[in-house]
Amino acid sequence: MKVVIIGGGFAGVNLSLALAKDRRFEITLVDKNNYNFFPPLIYQVATGFLEPSSISYPFRKLYRGKENVYYRLGELLEINPLENKVILSNGELSYDCLVIATGAETSFFGMENVKKNAIAMKTLDDAIEMRNKLLQQMEKASISDDEEDIRKRLTVVIAGGGPTGVELSGMFAEMRNGILRKEYPELVGKGSEIYLVDGGDALLSPMSLQSQKDTYDDLRKLGVRIRLKTRVTDFKDDAVVLSNGDTIKTKTLIWAAGVNARKFAGLPEESYGRANRMVADAFNKVNGTENVYAIGDTSLLLSDPAFPFGHPQVAQVAIQQGRNLAENLKALADGREQKPFIYKDKGSMAIIGRMKAVVDLPKPKVHFQGVIAWLAWLFIHLISLITYRNRVRTLYNWMIAYFTKDQSLRMIIKPTEKKIL
């Protein structure tokens, strides 16, 4: 059976690895990048606490020695379900089974100025762009004589009070209170501010009330200015415009406020639901298709009794769906009954700063914070990295950062893009 997987994130990689030793399947994984990366830690790349290679790994090296798994660099443009083939940016592929695992992309809710001027936080490219921009702003601020210009360059606004927004805010606050004072003494007291803006009533809205309160309190203690029940509506002329009419003067808006899945030509409209996610049955098969499946963030599965409106777009859902689909494809090949997907919620967590984190466990319902939660966050994220090499490199960098309260990865790297002939 020819299985084509579009997307090499948590869902696609776990599906491919689960099928890798079964010679009945010929698997081709297609991704626009030549590497898998770990999205929960891209903010640490963006702030210079991890290097990109700590959280990424080349697909060809990952699949080395797996004779029934192939990798192809490319991007999906169109699906032709009648002919069982996909049109890629660099050719075509035929399939017996197609799996869409393309994840989600940043949604700017139609705000063109925000899209053009803000920094998204979804990819390694975004993280490197953010690191470059933040470092450049500090360098420019260090030689400026204009107090207002300095404040705008040192002020950061983060839109979105989910885990990414919270973790970025905490990291920036600790950098301002530590690294900035050591390396840019001329900028101390020049008006560096960090704003966290969210349209909801609380930060980390899916987590427990206690986690929300602890997070709010800890960020306030770090000096983060939190604006709840407030949305960003525009970003132009070095000013972030808020829904309550206020403006914040800044040159840096980081967008962590929303995502959409991608639509692809060739599938019927009935295949798509809220936020362009593909509506799937209990076995992840896409509505209106015979042999097209969707897993991970792009999948909207409504049959799970505990999640009647769809699963959260988090790593554990993608991992479990990838592995469950692998077992179901094997069951189809064997003529056995398939197993419907039921998500096993393992809890939620977010890191706020050095030795500050919150963790919620579902069964039994337990909340804890502080050092224990911080250590739990470090351990879970460490073992979730795809290879031992990634784990060792990340652990080393974390140990250096912990004992020195510093990191040496703050380089401005601006590659010149040249056309590949």
Positions annotated as catalytic residues are: 167
Nearest CA to 47 out of 313, 354, 387 is that of: 354
Bond preceding residue 364 cis, omega within 30 of 0 = yes
Give the CA dihedral 390, 395, 400, 405, nearest 10 degrees.
110
Scanning the structure block, which residue is given the tokens 């967008």? 255
* Residue 306 in tokens: 């505990």
Count the neighbouring beta carbons within 10 Å of the beta carbon of residue 397.
18
Q: What amino acid occupies position 259?
A: V
Between β-strands 56-58 and 35-37, what pairing exists: parallel, antiparallel or unpaired? antiparallel
Spell out the residues 6+ positions from residue 87 whose beta carbon is closer than 8 angstroms to its own.
76, 77, 78, 79, 80
Opening angle at CA 205, ends 203 and 207, nearest 5: 105
Distance CA 30, CA 389 (A): 23
Nearest CA to 44 out of 164, 160, 144 is that of: 164
Sequence-separated contacts (24+) of 357-364 with Cβ below 8 Å: 358/204, 358/207, 358/210, 358/211, 358/214, 358/215, 359/211, 360/207, 360/208, 360/211
Give the CA dihedral 297, 302, 308, 311, nearest 10 degrees.
-10
In the chain, helix, strand, coil percent, each to 5?
Answer: 35, 25, 40
Q: What ranges in 236-368 are assigned the alpha helix state H? A: 315-334
DSSP structure class, residue 231? -
